[in-house]
Amino acid sequence: MLRIGKIPIAVFALLIIAFPWVAHEIPSIEHYTDIMIFAGIYCLMTMGLSLLMGYTGQISIGHAAFYGIGAYTSAILTTRYGFNPWPCMLAGMIVTAIVAILVGAPSLKLRGHYLAMATLAFGIIVYIIFNEEAAWTGGPDGMIGIPGLSLFGFEFDSIDKYYYLVWTIVFVVFVFTTNLIQSGIGRALRAIHVSEPAAGAMGVDISRFKILVFVYSAVLASLAGSLYAHYLNFINPSTFDLFFSIKLLIMIALGGMHSIWGAIIGAGLITFLSYEWLHYFEEYEVIVYGAILLVVTVFLPKGLAGIPGIIKSWFRN
Amino acid sequence: MNFVGDENILELNRVVMAFGGLMALSNISFQVKRGMIKAIIGPNGAGKTTLFNIITGSFSPTEGKIIFKGLPIEHLKAHKIAQRGISRTFQTVELFGNMTVLENVMLGCHTRIKSSFFSSGFQLPRVRRREAQIKENAMKILKFIGLVDKFNYNAGSLPLGEQKILEIGRALASEPELICLDEPAAGLNETETHVASSLIRAINARGITVLLVEHDMKVIMNISDEIAVLNYGQKIAEGSPEEIQNNRRVIEAYLGSE
């Protein structure tokens, strides 16, 4: 059930490569490549969250904060100190990892949903810091002039180029995460989700694994934040508010948190809904998200990724 | 049963476990010799499962010492104790129901996997080799416990008798020196009980020390070398099966005094 075949991965890679070409041919969706960049950035976060929630059974309501720490570390180090963006990205990931250990370790050593509470509070605090520490973060106005990315003289200065950069990273993270799930580590994570006493008795160091996965998902969020900052060249705190953390949860609930494919599908769909298809609803957008979450939890507890299983069982009966 | 030596593999020294005001165990001391099958019996609520939970590190005792292979373990967490060589099963089956039979046993090998996060993520050749090794090992265990034909079944779909056997197999995968079986025959029919007790004998014949909690007296009297009896958190008797069968205090604990 967990084996992810070579063929679906190859199809996934082909779709990534082909998307901008197809989009160019159809004028009405030409700008979809731009939206796909954001979808890719969100995918990075949902893959980590899927591992954390779907496989390890821990809930984080503070990933927008890690996303923001990545973005602001990149922004501050590049604009105020003139560093090259790549080491800044790495610095953001290291800072995030340390913060994630400090926030996660105390609550992950306990059994139960303490992580959800700790991350909820943490997310709100970080959001306030982004707004109030104006000398560093520019306050509510945000920061402008964040440089774009280049590699060995090659500038990622067009939408298509940045698209390929982001989705290459998504693909690498996808393969890495898939390998992880299919290894002994993935087995241990699933075991923790089902029975902590049994996993412990079999020699699984429960708190270490929970912290490991939490830090991994936080670091991915930080990477996503840096990619976001260097793409838009501008950030402000409103991107990293509590609602965005919740939106991430809606993404993986919609896609199906027990499946890495679900994380990708969910991120893609919600991105297109919020950037494109829900403009008609204006400020009532939030209600639509609520409705989606409600419908999914009641009718599709395994998310969209669970649909093939449902169809299969229909045919069997 | 012929492997019993003089060395104490496990020693409990005046172990006390109190949950608030409730004394679940008071002043329990006993020894388990390497290679024996030792049973712990007692009426419901006597503290047998609590004793197992303490030995295997689910909680630390309030007072007292637990010595395994000459070293104190009472302060260690469950996974550390597993790494030292104690494995266990649970009274209410705690299998990983969403995994296959094979994966359950493979998880039991976890103590011997030292793969790091990055080598697993990049699937380095040594990770793949080790994974193949673990799989082979797990298949051997499935052969030993007689579930090899069902290796690809979901563990949750097996009948209770086979789930109990699989739990023992998973516990064996960590290559323990001491295995703690919590009511391996509970809820089993006569045939299944027979299978379970021959399996316990076969495990013991491999040189693994067995500590057993069980209610089925036929199983106990048949396979154990030594029995300790608990009642209300206290040890009231200890000895060979014959001695226990004729012990007045034990009979009183089970049937009430006249």
User: Is the pLDDT at A210 greater than 80, yes or no?
Assistant: yes
Q: How much is the average pLDDT of B179-199? A: 91
Q: Which residues of A touch B77 (CB under 8 A)?
A: 200, 205
Q: What pLDDT, on a 0 to 100 scale, did the predictor assign at position A5?
A: 74
Write out pLDDT tens, residues B68-125: 999 999 999 999 999 999 999 998 889 998 889 999 999 988 776 666 888 888 888 8
Stated pTM of the model: 0.88
User: Is the pLDDT at A241 greater than 60, yes or no?
Assistant: yes
Q: Please state the domain extents for chain A.
A: 37-316
User: Is the pLDDT at B258 greater than 60, yes or no?
Assistant: no
Looking at this predicted complex, what is its ipTM?
Answer: 0.86
Query: What span, in angstroms and rounded, lies between the C-alpha atoms of B119 and B125?
Result: 9
Among chain A residues, the shortest Cα distance to B90 is held by A198
State the smallest CA–CA distance between residue B257 and chain A in angstroms.
Answer: 38
3-class SS letters over chain A: CCCCCHHHHHHHHHHHHHHHHHHHHCHHHCCHHHHHHHHHHHHHHHHHHHHHHHHCCCCCCCHHHHHHHHHHHHHHHHHHHCCCHHHHHHHHHHHHHHHHHHHHHHHHCCCCCHHHHHHHHHHHHHHHHHHHCHHHHCHHHCEECCCCCEECCEECCCHHHHHHHHHHHHHHHHHHHHHHHHCHHHHHHHHHHHCHHHHHHCCCCHHHHHHHHHHHHHHHHHHHHHHHHHHHCEECHHHHCHHHHHHHHHHHHHHCCCCHHHHHHHHHHHHHHHHHHCHHHHHHHHHHHHHHHHHHHHHCCCCHHHHHHHHHHHHHC
Q: What pLDDT, on a 0 to 100 scale, did the predictor assign at position B1?
A: 47
Q: Which residues of B touch A185 (CB under 8 A)?
A: 115, 117, 120
Select from A187, A209, A217 the residue whose CB has the most chain B CBs within 10 Å, as the one to mutate to test that interface: A187
Domains of chain B, start order: 8-98+175-255 (3.40.50.300)
The size of the A-B interface in CB pairs under 8 A is 95
Select from A176, A187, A202, A302 the residue whose CB has the most chain B CBs within 10 Å, as the one to mutate to test that interface: A202
Q: Which residues of B touch A257 (CB under 8 A)?
A: none
Q: CB B122 to CB A176 under 8 A? A: yes
State the smallest CA–CA distance between residue A196 and chain B in angstroms.
Answer: 9
Domain A37-316 classification at class level: mainly alpha
Q: Does A200 touch chain B (CB under 8 A)?
A: yes
Q: What pLDDT, on a 0 to 100 scale, did the predictor assign at position B55?
A: 94
User: Is the pLDDT at A44 greater than 90, yes or no?
Assistant: yes
Query: What span, in angstroms and rounded, lies between the C-alpha atoms of A138 and A156?
Result: 26
State the smallest CA–CA distance between residue B217 and chain A in angstroms.
Answer: 27
State the smallest CA–CA distance between residue A199 and chain B in angstroms.
Answer: 8
Q: What pLDDT, on a 0 to 100 scale, did the predictor assign at position B193?
A: 92
Q: CB B79 to CB A198 under 8 A? A: no
Q: CB A184 to CB B110 under 8 A? A: yes
State the smallest CA–CA distance between residue A9 and chain B in angstroms.
Answer: 16
**Residue of A176, A191, A216 lying closest to B107 (CB–CB):** A191
Q: Does B126 touch chain A (CB under 8 A)?
A: no
Q: What pLDDT, on a 0 to 100 scale, did the predictor assign at position A1?
A: 38
Q: How much is the average pLDDT of A194-214? A: 91
